[in-house]
Copies of this chain bind each other. A is one copy, B any other.
Amino acid sequence: MEERVRAAIREAVNREPFARQFGIELAFLDDGRSRVEMVYDPARQDNIYGRAHGGALFGLIDEAFETAAQTDGTIAVAMNVNVTYIASPEPGSRLAAEAREVSRTKRTATYEIRLADDRGRLLAVCQALAFRTGKPIPFL
Contacts and interface: CB of A to CB of B under 8 A. Distances in A.
Interface residues of A, number: 58
A contact patch SS: mixed
A53 B48 contact: no
Interface centre among A12, A56, A81, A131 (most CB of B within 10 A): A81
Contacts of A59: 53, 55-56, 58-59
Contacts of A85: 77-81
Contacts of A75: 49
A83 interface: yes
B108 A122 contact: no
Interface string A58-77: 11111101110010000101
